[in-house]
Amino acid sequence: MERQIGNTRLVLVRGDITRQAVDAVVNAANPSLMGGGGVDGAIHRAGGPAILDECKKIVKKIGRLEPGGAVVTTAGNLPARHVIHTVGPVWKGGARGEPEVLSSAYVESLKRAEELGCRSVAFPSISTGAYGYPLEEAARVALEAVIAHLEEGSPLEEVRFVLFSDPVLAAYETALERLKP
């Protein structure tokens, strides 16, 4: 499924984020930046040790990465050129600022991609794995945040959501259909 937002094509596909030949892929990291499970583990495994080396340097400089923030490293052996590491919120019922932090994770990642001069960026479904954010709500918040940012005008040509399974893809498709232009 696709939608044009200003200059940018918003695309929803089923797939593996580590296989995307885009300028930047986004990692659903944790504040330690030291790797983990899910997307994070897959990116470090496929990208090799150069990514963790750069994460360690970032941690020396800034300490933990706060939820809603985003930082950049090499993509190592991945087909992408950069990895943008962001931290989504852990779901605690929805009244602890989770939507704002999730929106910030997407928007800060888009800003890093724009600063890098990227033309294409791929996102996973942040926070809907180990962090427990309900899928339908996360899909709506993610798409609203990305669309609102792109509507302000962006040099990005493509923003791709790479969803790992049919139910996750279906949730994002439903959420996008409900967000009529």
Q: Which residues are part of the catalytic machinery?
A: 40
Q: Is 127 in the site for ligand ADP (CB under 6 A)?
A: yes
Q: Is 106 in the site for ligand ADP (CB under 6 A)?
A: no
Is residue 160 a contact partner of residue 22, using CB atoms and an 8 Å limit? yes
Name the minimum Å distance from CB 24 to ligand ADP.
14
d(CA 121, CA 156): 8
What is the secondary structure of 102-117 as a DSSP string? HHHHHHHHHHHHHHTT
Is residue 163 a contact partner of residue 149, using CB atoms and an 8 Å limit? no
From the list 96, 40, 99, 107, the residue with the least C-alpha distance to 69 is 107
Q: Is 125 in the site for ligand ADP (CB under 6 A)?
A: yes
- In terms of CB distance, is 35 or 81 closer to ligand ADP? 35
94 by DSSP, 3-state: which? coil
Annotate each residue in 9-48 with x if it binds ligand ADP (CB under 6 A) or - if it does not, as one string. -------xxx---------x--------xxxx-x------
Q: Is 126 in the site for ligand ADP (CB under 6 A)?
A: yes
Name the minimum Å distance from CB 53 to ligand ADP.
21
Bridging pattern class, strands 24-28 and 120-123: parallel
Q: Is 123 in the site for ligand ADP (CB under 6 A)?
A: no
- The packing angle between helices 49-62 and 38-47, to 10°, is 120
Is residue 135 a contact partner of residue 167, using CB atoms and an 8 Å limit? yes
Q: Is 104 in the site for ligand ADP (CB under 6 A)?
A: no
- In terms of CB distance, is 6 or 124 closer to ligand ADP? 124
Q: Is 50 in the site for ligand ADP (CB under 6 A)?
A: no
Site for ligand ADP in 74-93 (CB under 6 A): 88
Q: Which residues bind ligand ADP (CB under 6 A)?
A: 16-18, 28, 37-40, 42, 88, 124-131, 162, 164, 168
